[in-house]
Amino acid sequence: MRCLFVAIFVLISSYAIAQDYPSHPVRIVVSQGPGSSTDIQARLLAEKMSQAWGEQVYIENKVGANGIIGMQELAKSKPDGYSLGTASPSALTYNQFIYKDLPYRPSEDYVPITQISTLTFVLAVNPKLSVKSVAELVALAKSKPDELTYSSPGIGNLSHLGTELFAAETGIKVRHIPNKGDAPALTDVISGNTDFIINTLPSMLPHIMSGRLRALAVAGSSRSSALPGVPTIAESGYPRVLVEGWVGMVAPAGTPPSIVAKVQQEVAQQLSTPELKEALAKQGSNAVGSSPEAFAAFVKSESSKWKRVIETAKMQPQ
């Protein structure tokens, strides 16, 4: 009987906390800089959440070390619902396999709230390369082992890991030419210094439309409305090649479940509006708004996938 009373008390207390939340400003820690895709999405949500709650929801950019500084800041924050944070694939899934001394624990230091969005990636080649499909690219690469090259914005990012996944699933051997950012990576492919790239649709679309890049396939789970005639890599015969960027929302471990639920419901509600769907679509992203449980399962699956890719590529922790 005593246990029943305790359980009822906890439920009532949790409900009361959620009812009073928020009673003062809420910050969202963003590990990327102002003007980044993640930052823009967070600011869109913060504005709408402020209006809905009648309390200010503001952005605090904590930039550096591939998102590590911001994630570390969030992990150390009080778990009362007044510090939330955005999270990227690197932060929650593969940094732990790339860095030896990661100052936070992805699966222990945070509670998942929701996946905010997905970001489309595209496989594209230099137009002078004599291929017009994934099958032709794979055949060419197999005929010239270690001769074809691919660009990425740097070592250990989603573009790099996504191409390693593509190489592993197709059985090709290609050489990685890392750069320092999207612009130089794309310039290398456009100029013909490298042969192909898997990178974000927003960064590549202008070059695809102008003919400076040839899109072979969308690396996501479905075709893009911006490139309706371009098949997915899965449609091209490789269903295990799925490369999508995403933005999620998390809170410090120990944040009351009732607050997590209230934040998730508000974010999901805002993401379901035509206004935010359209705003995200302009960035090449799709609104999601999943449950905490679905987001947790997604992160676990992605972590396993990228761990396998990193091990297969024999990438050594930095």
DSSP codes joined into one string, 231-296: PBTTTTT-TT---EEEEEEEEETT--HHHHHHHHHHHHHHHTSHHHHHHHHTTTEEE----HHHHH
Structure tokens at 189: 């492919």
Length of the chain equals: 318
Domains of the chain: 24-119+245-312 (3.40.190.150), 120-218 (3.40.190.10)
Q: What is the pLDDT of residues 147-205, one digit of tens each?
A: 999 999 988 899 999 999 999 999 999 999 998 888 899 999 999 999 999 999 999 99
In the prediction, which pLDDT does 64 show?
85
Rounded distance between C-alpha atoms, residue 128 and residue 239, angstroms? 27
| pLDDT mean across residues, the chain | 92
**Using 50, 70 and 90 to split pLDDT, how confident is the model at 100?**
confident
Spatial separation of the C-alpha atoms in residues 87 and 76, rounded to whole Å? 15
pLDDT of residue 144: 95
Provide mean pLDDT across the span 13-23: 72
Q: Cα 43 to chain center, whole Å? A: 17
Is residue 239 reached through a cis peptide bond, with omega within 30 degrees of 0 on the bond before it? no
Residues in contact with 19: Cβ distance below 8 Å, sequence separation at least 6, in sequence order: none
Q: Check residue 260 and give its pLDDT.
A: 98
pLDDT reading at 219 higher than 70: yes
- The predicted pLDDT at position 5 comes to 46
